[in-house]
Amino acid sequence: LFPLSVVADAASTTELKPDVRLLIDISGSMKDSDPSNLRAPAVELIVQMLPEGSRAGIWIFGEDVSPLVGHGAVDEAWRQEAERAIKAIDNSGQLTNIPAALQAASFDFDRLDPGYRTSIVLLTDGKVDISSSPMANASAVRNLLTKVGPDMGSIGVPVHTIALSDEADWQFLESLAEKTKGIAEKAETAGELAPLF
């Protein structure tokens, strides 16, 4: 999920640093979808793997979205803040507002630094739940797959989706990743996370 270079053109290769926006689902449904709370070791592993000089930010979301660790340069201070913040990953959210989470992570899409490869990592059960209305939820899913996802894909920002159990809505997570030119993966144990990343 953290490629460090891309082919800029046929003649040269430009080194790009990763800019990773990590979105962590803390909705109540994660009690069933992620009973072992694999989100915590997943975040810890990503924090450890990010190279010096990269950028990253971590957001948690349920019905609302909150920054857990501010987006910025990955250095020792950032890593320490991220390590301390991991304990805030719980199941306290009432809804699963994936659209709002993606919007929060897109705060600077009008001015992306071309020296970085920006990507989003979404840890969720994929059950879009923004309202008590099934029609509103279905409309949100449709908008993600027909507009938001393709728009992200067109500017080169993939959304890598990670399902943490068979309870996840795999069809939606796979479709969202595909629309953004990202990767969809499943992990049901902590041991599966390292090779995945």
pLDDT of residue 195: 82
Looking at the DSSP bridge assignments, the partners of residue 57 are 21
- Do 185 and 160 form a contact (C-beta atoms < 8 A)? yes
pLDDT of residue 3: 44
Report pLDDT for 88: 86
Profile the chain (197 residues) by mean pLDDT over runs of 10 residues. 38 72 93 86 90 95 96 96 91 94 96 96 91 95 97 97 86 96 89 80
Eight-state DSSP code of residue 15: E
Predicted local confidence at residue 10, as pLDDT? 31
Question: Which stretch of DSSP H or E encloses residue 112?
Answer: none
Site of tokens 């320490």: 80
Q: Which run of H or E residues covers position 194?
A: helix 193-196
- pTM of the predicted model as reported, rounded to 2 decimal places: 0.89
Strands 55-61 and 5-7: unpaired
Asked whether 4 and 20 are in contact (CB, 8 A), the reply is no
Residue type at position 145 = L
Say what the pLDDT of residue 7 is.
33
The SS3 call for residue 111 is helix
